[in-house]
Amino acid sequence: MINLLILTVNIGGGHNAAANALKNYIEKNNYDINTSVIDYIDYINHGLSKLTAAAYEACTKKIPQLYRASYNVRNMIPKKNHKSKLISNTKSKKLIKEYAPNIVVCLHPFIVSEITDLKNKYNFNYDVFVLITDFDFHEGWISPGVNKYIVSSNFMRLRLLGKGIPDFKIHTFGIPSSCSCTNKNSKIEARQKLDLEKNITTVLLVGGSFGAGKIQDILKNIIESALEVQIVVIAGKDAKLKNKLKEISSCYDNPIRILGFTERIFLYMDAADILITKPGGLTITEAIIKQLPMIIVNPIPGQEEENAAFLLNKGLAVCANNKNISIHLKDLLEDKERIEDMQIISKRYAKPNACLDFTNIVTEYKGALCEKE
């Protein structure tokens, strides 16, 4: 049996969601792969993990310029200078000995240098897979000790080739997600299941796992435009934001549903005509699979700005700001041909089999391991 150790961090929701999507897929389909998902920073130091998550949320919400500066500085450091900071921590070594992995999968750039340095320092015998959960990459993702890179698109493959990464190490499987195009409901079916109005244009407004994206301003702008739409707002895990959104929606005649975190996000995507969201890697991956036209707003500096550039360059989304969102929404709704084009393009770039494709290379690794033995 292969021991697969997936390392993630509690920074944003996408890393954990992709990690759990892989683990659930492997277990559901009874592969002979022992899969563990570990929050790396939490394993090293629980207090540090909580502090890091809180700092990331506060920084991206309140002082995004600082986050951009930090991201840009880190991105200018050559890969050979991305050194581990916790390599002397005995817990890192303990983690590897405890789980005895054949493959370690890194879902955050911070982890990559940690794990490759650890392998070299203690002569551990595991392969390192890097799974990039966005549509461009940060210098921190790159390390000479990485055996495979799993990326979202051919664009990223070309970018990595330009950094000197050999083509045989790069796999364009996409970002793993629990979303599937095989269980897609029609809009009417989805709205019936969700008890939504069936014959009205439906807009899905998503703020990310912790409600980022200034969705209060966006909701107000749509309300004040008097567009005849029903709106579903997913506020994430931010309870205060959810309550504020309910206050705003109380003065609007058309139907509005305000939700916190929901596990029915895919059904709401099926029910929607348009998705308004910040361009987090996993959310836009799922929207592309669902062939759901997107309006992107308020990207987090750094990786989400790069995600936005990918979407716009491919014709997968429209970009708007909080003040003109209703104009862009109305313009898109009135342009049926453009909506159809976006759906066709989404079908071309969708990667609904990312979990299967990833599992297949792990299975191939198992075969190679058996041959060596």
Full DSSP string of 5-63:
EEEE-SSSSHHHHHHHHHHHHHHHTT-SEEEEEEEHHHHH-HHHHHHHHHHHHHHHHH-
Tens-place pLDDT, residues 108-144 = 988 999 899 999 989 999 999 999 999 998 888 999 9
DSSP H helical ranges for the chain = 14-28, 40-44, 46-62, 64-76, 90-99, 109-122, 154-162, 187-194, 215-225, 239-249, 265-271, 281-289, 303-314, 325-334, 336-349, 354-372
Residues 235 and 159 in one domain: no
Say yes or no: 191 and 159 in one domain.
no
Confidence of residue 249 (pLDDT cuts 50, 70, 90): confident
CB count in 10 Å sphere of residue 151 = 28
d(CA 280, CA 18): 12
Taken in order 10, 295, 182, 129, is the CA torsion positive or negative? Answer: negative
**pTM for the predicted model, two decimal places:** 0.90
**Domain limits at 44?**
2-178+353-372
Pair 213, 75 in one domain: no
Considering only 70-79, 136-145, 260-269, 328-337, which range has the smallest mean pLDDT? 70-79
The DSSP letter of residue 231 is E
Q: Any idea what the Cα angle at residue 102 is, between residues 100 and 108, rounded to 5°?
A: 90
Question: Does the structure show a pLDDT above 80 at 13?
Answer: no
Same domain as 276, residue 141: no
Instruction: Please give the Cα distance from 26 to 295 (Å, whole number).
Output: 33
The proportion of the chain whose per-residue pLDDT surpasses 90, expressed as a percent, equals 63
Together in a domain, 102 and 202: no
- 93 shares its domain with 29: yes
Please tell me the least confidently modeled range out of 80-84, 194-198, 252-256: 80-84
Are 207 and 259 contacting, i.e. CB atoms less than 8 angstroms apart? Answer: no
Q: Which CATH number belongs to the domain containing residue 336 in this structure?
A: 3.40.50.2000
The total number of structural domains in the chain stands at 2
Q: Is the pLDDT of residue 81 over 50?
A: no
Residues 365 and 332 in one domain: no
CB 257 within 8 A of CB 281: no
- Decide which of 86 and 124 is more confident: 124
Task: Count the residues in the chain.
Answer: 373
Shared domain for 158 and 234, answered yes or no, is: no
- Verify that 61 and 85 share a domain, yes or no: yes
Is 371's pLDDT higher than 60? Answer: no
In this structure, the answer to whether residues 295 and 151 fall within a common structural domain is no
Do 158 and 13 share a domain, yes or no?
yes
Q: 215 and 158: one domain?
A: no
- Which of 74-78, 135-139, 161-165 shows the lowest per-residue confidence on average (mean pLDDT)? 74-78
**Cα 255–Cα 286–Cα 262 angle in degrees, nearest 5:** 50
Strand partners, 38: 7
